[in-house]
Amino acid sequence: MVQSPPRDGQPALRRRPGRGAAGFLRDLVVIVVVAVLASFLIKTFLVRSFFIPSESMQNTLQVHDRILVNELVPGLIPLQRGDVIVFKDPGGWLRQDYVAPPSNPLAAAGEWVLSVFGLSTQDANDHLVKRVIGLPGDRVTCCNSLGQLSVNGVPVEEPYVVKSSASDRVSDQDFDVTVPTGDLWVMGDNRYNSEDSRYHPDAPGKGFVPTSDVVGRAFVVSWPVSHWDWLTNYPSSFAGVGPPKR
Protein backbone atom coordinates (compact mmCIF):
# COMPACT_ATOMS: atom_id res chain seq x y z
CA MET A 1 0.00 0.00 0.00
CA VAL A 2 1.38 3.42 -0.96
CA GLN A 3 1.38 6.01 1.81
CA SER A 4 0.60 9.66 1.14
CA PRO A 5 3.71 11.84 1.22
CA PRO A 6 4.26 13.91 4.38
CA ARG A 7 3.11 17.50 4.30
CA ASP A 8 5.39 20.47 5.04
CA GLY A 9 8.29 18.20 5.75
CA GLN A 10 6.56 16.54 8.71
CA PRO A 11 6.89 12.79 9.15
CA ALA A 12 3.82 10.74 8.34
CA LEU A 13 1.69 9.79 11.34
CA ARG A 14 0.75 6.17 11.81
CA ARG A 15 -2.74 5.52 13.13
CA ARG A 16 -2.74 3.36 16.23
CA PRO A 17 -4.68 0.17 15.80
CA GLY A 18 -8.02 0.09 17.61
CA ARG A 19 -8.00 -1.59 21.04
CA GLY A 20 -11.26 -3.33 20.43
CA ALA A 21 -13.95 -4.55 22.80
CA ALA A 22 -11.59 -6.91 24.64
CA GLY A 23 -9.30 -4.06 25.70
CA PHE A 24 -12.21 -1.93 26.83
CA LEU A 25 -13.67 -4.75 28.90
CA ARG A 26 -10.28 -5.46 30.47
CA ASP A 27 -9.88 -1.83 31.53
CA LEU A 28 -13.46 -1.75 32.83
CA VAL A 29 -12.84 -4.85 34.96
CA VAL A 30 -9.65 -3.32 36.38
CA ILE A 31 -11.47 -0.09 37.29
CA VAL A 32 -14.31 -1.97 38.98
CA VAL A 33 -11.93 -4.22 40.93
CA VAL A 34 -9.88 -1.25 42.13
CA ALA A 35 -13.03 0.65 43.14
CA VAL A 36 -14.42 -2.34 45.03
CA LEU A 37 -11.11 -2.95 46.78
CA ALA A 38 -10.81 0.71 47.77
CA SER A 39 -14.38 0.74 49.07
CA PHE A 40 -13.76 -2.46 51.02
CA LEU A 41 -10.64 -1.02 52.65
CA ILE A 42 -12.46 2.22 53.50
CA LYS A 43 -15.34 0.30 55.03
CA THR A 44 -13.05 -1.99 56.99
CA PHE A 45 -10.70 0.60 58.42
CA LEU A 46 -12.17 4.10 58.07
CA VAL A 47 -15.89 4.61 57.42
CA ARG A 48 -19.03 2.49 57.57
CA SER A 49 -22.67 3.25 56.92
CA PHE A 50 -25.64 2.45 59.16
CA PHE A 51 -29.30 3.32 59.01
CA ILE A 52 -31.52 4.41 61.85
CA PRO A 53 -34.27 1.87 62.66
CA SER A 54 -36.02 3.59 65.57
CA GLU A 55 -37.13 6.95 66.97
CA SER A 56 -34.74 6.91 69.93
CA MET A 57 -32.40 9.59 68.48
CA GLN A 58 -34.99 12.04 67.19
CA ASN A 59 -34.82 14.84 66.39
CA THR A 60 -31.11 14.51 65.68
CA LEU A 61 -31.68 11.40 63.57
CA GLN A 62 -34.89 10.32 61.87
CA VAL A 63 -36.10 6.79 61.19
CA HIS A 64 -34.41 5.36 58.05
CA ASP A 65 -31.70 8.03 57.96
CA ARG A 66 -28.31 6.74 56.87
CA ILE A 67 -25.26 7.87 58.80
CA LEU A 68 -21.54 7.58 58.18
CA VAL A 69 -19.41 6.39 61.08
CA ASN A 70 -15.74 7.19 61.68
CA GLU A 71 -14.12 3.89 62.68
CA LEU A 72 -10.95 5.61 63.93
CA VAL A 73 -12.99 6.39 67.07
CA PRO A 74 -12.21 5.21 69.70
CA GLY A 75 -9.17 3.24 68.55
CA LEU A 76 -7.07 6.23 67.46
CA ILE A 77 -9.31 9.18 68.36
CA PRO A 78 -10.67 9.29 71.93
CA LEU A 79 -14.37 9.47 72.66
CA GLN A 80 -15.85 12.67 74.06
CA ARG A 81 -19.03 13.39 75.96
CA GLY A 82 -21.79 14.22 73.52
CA ASP A 83 -20.48 11.99 70.72
CA VAL A 84 -23.11 10.08 68.77
CA ILE A 85 -21.79 6.54 68.58
CA VAL A 86 -22.67 3.21 67.00
CA PHE A 87 -22.00 0.18 69.17
CA LYS A 88 -22.67 -3.54 69.23
CA ASP A 89 -25.48 -4.75 71.43
CA PRO A 90 -23.92 -5.25 74.89
CA GLY A 91 -26.54 -7.95 75.46
CA GLY A 92 -30.33 -7.78 75.71
CA TRP A 93 -30.81 -4.28 74.31
CA LEU A 94 -32.21 -5.07 70.88
CA ARG A 95 -35.65 -6.48 71.56
CA GLN A 96 -37.31 -3.62 69.62
CA ASP A 97 -34.57 -2.15 67.42
CA TYR A 98 -33.85 -5.33 65.45
CA VAL A 99 -33.66 -4.84 61.67
CA ALA A 100 -34.93 -7.84 59.71
CA PRO A 101 -32.56 -9.19 57.02
CA PRO A 102 -33.64 -9.42 53.36
CA SER A 103 -36.38 -11.99 52.85
CA ASN A 104 -35.63 -13.09 49.28
CA PRO A 105 -32.50 -14.02 47.26
CA LEU A 106 -32.67 -10.90 45.04
CA ALA A 107 -32.82 -8.56 48.04
CA ALA A 108 -30.02 -10.52 49.72
CA ALA A 109 -27.86 -10.16 46.61
CA GLY A 110 -28.52 -6.43 46.53
CA GLU A 111 -27.55 -6.11 50.18
CA TRP A 112 -24.30 -7.98 49.47
CA VAL A 113 -23.40 -5.59 46.65
CA LEU A 114 -24.13 -2.60 48.90
CA SER A 115 -22.06 -4.15 51.67
CA VAL A 116 -18.99 -4.16 49.43
CA PHE A 117 -19.29 -0.37 49.20
CA GLY A 118 -20.02 0.06 52.91
CA LEU A 119 -23.66 1.00 52.31
CA SER A 120 -25.40 -2.16 53.45
CA THR A 121 -27.54 -2.52 56.54
CA GLN A 122 -26.85 -6.24 56.87
CA ASP A 123 -24.30 -5.76 59.63
CA ALA A 124 -26.48 -3.20 61.46
CA ASN A 125 -28.79 -5.83 62.89
CA ASP A 126 -26.95 -6.04 66.21
CA HIS A 127 -25.90 -2.39 66.54
CA LEU A 128 -27.41 0.65 68.25
CA VAL A 129 -27.00 4.42 68.02
CA LYS A 130 -26.93 6.60 71.16
CA ARG A 131 -25.17 9.68 72.55
CA VAL A 132 -22.29 9.40 75.02
CA ILE A 133 -23.19 11.12 78.29
CA GLY A 134 -20.72 9.59 80.73
CA LEU A 135 -17.09 8.56 80.18
CA PRO A 136 -15.23 6.06 82.37
CA GLY A 137 -15.07 7.43 85.91
CA ASP A 138 -17.87 9.99 85.42
CA ARG A 139 -20.67 10.27 87.94
CA VAL A 140 -23.93 10.89 86.09
CA THR A 141 -27.02 11.88 88.07
CA CYS A 142 -30.57 12.94 87.28
CA CYS A 143 -32.52 14.95 87.85
CA ASN A 144 -31.94 18.24 89.69
CA SER A 145 -34.65 20.77 90.59
CA LEU A 146 -34.57 22.13 87.03
CA GLY A 147 -34.98 18.67 85.51
CA GLN A 148 -31.39 18.53 84.25
CA LEU A 149 -28.89 15.72 84.48
CA SER A 150 -25.44 16.42 85.93
CA VAL A 151 -22.03 15.03 85.12
CA ASN A 152 -19.48 15.15 87.92
CA GLY A 153 -21.74 17.56 89.78
CA VAL A 154 -22.12 20.00 86.88
CA PRO A 155 -25.62 20.47 85.38
CA VAL A 156 -25.63 19.98 81.62
CA GLU A 157 -27.72 21.98 79.14
CA GLU A 158 -28.88 19.53 76.46
CA PRO A 159 -30.45 21.37 73.51
CA TYR A 160 -30.66 18.12 71.52
CA VAL A 161 -33.05 16.42 73.97
CA VAL A 162 -36.72 15.81 73.12
CA LYS A 163 -38.66 16.01 76.37
CA SER A 164 -42.15 14.98 77.27
CA SER A 165 -44.86 17.55 76.65
CA ALA A 166 -45.92 17.02 80.26
CA SER A 167 -42.50 17.50 81.88
CA ASP A 168 -39.34 19.60 81.68
CA ARG A 169 -37.25 16.73 83.02
CA VAL A 170 -34.68 15.23 80.64
CA SER A 171 -35.42 11.77 82.00
CA ASP A 172 -38.57 10.08 83.21
CA GLN A 173 -36.61 8.32 85.94
CA ASP A 174 -33.96 9.33 88.46
CA PHE A 175 -30.56 7.71 88.50
CA ASP A 176 -27.16 8.10 90.12
CA VAL A 177 -24.39 6.07 88.52
CA THR A 178 -20.61 6.06 88.34
CA VAL A 179 -19.31 4.76 85.02
CA PRO A 180 -16.90 1.85 85.49
CA THR A 181 -13.45 1.80 83.91
CA GLY A 182 -13.68 0.78 80.27
CA ASP A 183 -17.41 1.55 79.99
CA LEU A 184 -19.75 4.34 78.83
CA TRP A 185 -23.15 5.68 79.88
CA VAL A 186 -25.24 6.38 76.77
CA MET A 187 -28.68 7.91 76.23
CA GLY A 188 -30.96 8.61 73.28
CA ASP A 189 -31.90 12.18 72.39
CA ASN A 190 -35.59 11.25 72.37
CA ARG A 191 -35.45 10.69 76.11
CA TYR A 192 -39.00 9.51 76.66
CA ASN A 193 -38.77 7.02 73.79
CA SER A 194 -35.30 5.54 74.14
CA GLU A 195 -34.34 2.26 75.79
CA ASP A 196 -30.80 3.30 76.66
CA SER A 197 -28.46 2.81 79.63
CA ARG A 198 -31.26 3.69 82.06
CA TYR A 199 -33.39 0.73 81.04
CA HIS A 200 -30.95 -2.16 81.23
CA PRO A 201 -29.84 -2.58 84.86
CA ASP A 202 -30.47 -6.32 84.59
CA ALA A 203 -28.53 -6.77 81.34
CA PRO A 204 -25.02 -8.29 81.42
CA GLY A 205 -23.36 -4.85 81.47
CA LYS A 206 -25.93 -3.39 83.90
CA GLY A 207 -26.71 -0.64 81.40
CA PHE A 208 -23.13 0.36 80.68
CA VAL A 209 -21.57 -0.04 77.22
CA PRO A 210 -17.99 -1.36 76.95
CA THR A 211 -15.81 0.94 74.89
CA SER A 212 -14.60 -2.20 73.13
CA ASP A 213 -18.11 -2.58 71.65
CA VAL A 214 -18.01 0.86 70.00
CA VAL A 215 -17.81 0.68 66.21
CA GLY A 216 -17.20 4.39 65.76
CA ARG A 217 -18.52 7.94 65.99
CA ALA A 218 -21.29 9.07 63.63
CA PHE A 219 -20.26 12.31 61.93
CA VAL A 220 -22.71 12.95 59.11
CA VAL A 221 -26.24 12.13 57.96
CA SER A 222 -25.62 10.95 54.41
CA TRP A 223 -29.14 10.03 53.26
CA PRO A 224 -31.73 11.20 52.39
CA VAL A 225 -30.30 14.32 50.85
CA SER A 226 -32.94 16.47 52.51
CA HIS A 227 -31.61 15.37 55.94
CA TRP A 228 -27.92 15.86 55.13
CA ASP A 229 -26.13 17.38 58.11
CA TRP A 230 -22.96 17.20 60.16
CA LEU A 231 -23.41 15.70 63.61
CA THR A 232 -21.98 17.59 66.56
CA ASN A 233 -21.16 16.54 70.11
CA TYR A 234 -22.27 19.94 71.50
CA PRO A 235 -18.94 20.80 73.16
CA SER A 236 -20.39 23.91 74.85
CA SER A 237 -22.87 21.70 76.73
CA PHE A 238 -20.09 19.74 78.42
CA ALA A 239 -17.45 22.49 78.55
CA GLY A 240 -17.85 23.04 82.29
CA VAL A 241 -17.67 19.37 83.22
CA GLY A 242 -14.45 18.43 84.93
CA PRO A 243 -12.36 15.36 84.13
CA PRO A 244 -13.65 11.98 85.25
CA LYS A 245 -12.25 10.33 88.33
CA ARG A 246 -9.66 7.70 87.62
Which one of the listed residues 43, 49, 130, 222 is annotated catalytic? 130
Determine phi and psi for 199, rounding to 5 degrees: -100, 10
Which one of the listed residues 56, 115, 194, 197 is annotated catalytic? 56
What is the C-alpha separation between 160 and 188, in angstroms, rounded? 10
What is the C-alpha separation between 189 and 28, in angstroms, rounded? 46
Question: Is 130 among the residues known to form the active site?
Answer: yes
First to last CA, the chain: 88
Q: Which helix (H) or strand (E) holds 130?
A: strand 127-134
Nearest partner of 154 among 232, 76, 242, 85, judged by Cα: 242
Question: Is 56 among the residues known to form the active site?
Answer: yes
What is the C-alpha separation between 149 and 232, in angstroms, rounded? 19
What is the C-alpha separation between 89 and 207, in angstroms, rounded? 11
Beta carbons of 195 and 189 less than 8 angstroms apart: no
Nearest partner of 195 among 64, 98, 81, 117, judged by Cα: 98
Catalytic residues: 56, 130
